[in-house]
Amino acid sequence: MSVIQVVGRGTWGTVVACSIKGMGETLEDSLQLSGQSIQDLYAVKIMKKQDLIEDNMMKSAIIERQVLQALNHPLLVKLHFAFQDETKLFMGMDYVPGGDLFFHLKRFGAFNERDSKFYAIEIAYALQHLHDLGIVYRDMKPENVILDADGHIKIVDFGLAKLGVVDPFEGTDSTCGTSYYMAPEVINGQCYGQAVDWWGLGVLLFELLTGNPPWYTRDQTQKVLFFKVTKTALTCPPFVTGPCRDFLTKLLEKDPARRLQAGAVFAHPWTGGLTLAQLRDGKLRPPVVPCPNYAGQTAAKFARGGAVEGGGGGGGGRAKGG
């Protein structure tokens, strides 16, 4: 296996694009040398054991592998292999070349309702599958939704996911997540369940439509943000249509018992009853279809920070990858 380029860095791991055979100076060179395609690449997440131990995150890394092993769905990244050496953990997953929604959101500023609907429904089907497996995701945000070569989504990074949560309203009570996307019951330290993921979908949909999460203001403290999330009513911009506004309001319901859940999400007039098969068959066209060499451009952008330690074996700095 040859490490081609760094494609992402985060808090607890580095993600590198790897080829089973052939290596050139760039991702495009490697594919030409080996006669391979994007489908022949893997995204390998590399985590230093010492970093995980120092930050009390080893259990999270083990759970992430367990979650990934349970997944086999077109809208969720797939684990192909996992191994370790004396100092690092390695997880080889689908290489997803299209960039994340955060990147595309910054490119376009915001998406129209039709395009936002495409992403929202695909994410909803991915969440439904996780919930059917008793997995609560807990980390919904645009950085964790990546586009494949055809423009369909794949959810990545399961470091905060929890197994064995089968109820919408109970199952765990740990405080985790990204501040802007945390549900009120998480902020308040209450017991919660799968309903937190539907709140996260609502926050992400609002951000796709407007460019910012709800209750966002520049330079506000976390204390102020949490007060707004738990106490202040949602305000939608006037350009949001009535059906979409109703959908958002019901997803961003502060009381989880009154919040939309999977069945109601797909039955809502705004989603139009679209099935996953219809989405995959082009009933709604993907808003963004990455160009063939987009993956190499993206990888080169991330690689400017430096190479992965350890040459072909790959290791890296502290990063949260996915």
**What DSSP letter does each residue of 222-252 carry, written as one string?**
HHHHHHHHHHSPP---TTS-HHHHHHHHHHT
Residues 51 and 119 both lie in one domain: no
Write the pLDDT tens digit of every residue in 50-63: 999 999 999 989 99
User: What is the structure's pLDDT at 39?
Assistant: 59
Q: Which of 49, 69, 95 is the last residue of a domain?
A: 95
Whether 139 is a known active-site residue: answer yes
pLDDT at 87 over 80: yes
> Phi and psi for 232 in degrees, rounded to 5?
-100, 140
Q: How far is CA 162 from the centre of its chain?
A: 15
Residues 104 and 87 both lie in one domain: no
Which domain range does residue 179 map to? 99-281
Residues 105 and 208 both lie in one domain: yes
Can you point out the beta strands (E) in 141-230?
A: 145-147, 153-155, 162-163
Tell me the CA distances in angstroms from 247 to 70, 254, 262, 265, one per residue in order: 30, 14, 12, 8
Q: Which of 139, 148, 157, 197 is catalytic?
A: 139
Quote the pTM value.
0.85
Domain membership flag for residue 232? yes
Residues 8 and 138 both lie in one domain: no
Q: Which of 68, 95, 122 is the last residue of a domain?
A: 95
Distance CA 207, CA 203 (A): 6
Residues 156 and 241 both lie in one domain: yes
Bin 5: left if φ > 0, else alpha if -120 < ψ < 50, else beta.
beta
Are 70 and 135 in contact, with CB atoms under 8 Å apart?
A: yes
Domain membership flag for residue 28? no
Residues 51 and 115 both lie in one domain: no
Going by the DSSP 8-state scheme, the letter that residue 86 receives in this structure is: S
Residues 85 and 225 both lie in one domain: no
pLDDT band at 8 (very low <50, low <70, confident <90, very high): confident
Are 54 and 11 in contact, with CB atoms under 8 Å apart?
A: no
Residues 87 and 205 both lie in one domain: no
Q: Looking at residues 243-248, what average pLDDT do you find?
A: 98
Residues 9 and 137 both lie in one domain: no
Write the pLDDT tens digit of every residue in 90-128: 999 999 989 999 999 999 999 999 999 999 999 999 999
Residues 148 and 277 both lie in one domain: yes
Indicate which CATH number applies to the domain containing 122. 1.10.510.10
Indicate which CATH number applies to the domain containing 89. 3.30.200.20
- The number of distinct structural domains making up the chain is 2
Q: Which of 95, 122, 139 is the last residue of a domain?
A: 95
Of 307 and 146, which is predicted with more confidence? 146
Residues 162 and 235 both lie in one domain: yes
Q: Looking at residues 276-303, what average pLDDT do you find?
A: 68
Residues 73 and 147 both lie in one domain: no
Distance CA 289, CA 131 (A): 28
Average model confidence (pLDDT) across the chain: 86
Domain membership flag for residue 291? no
| Residue 314: exposure state from Cβ atoms within 10 A (0-12, 13-18, ≥19) | buried
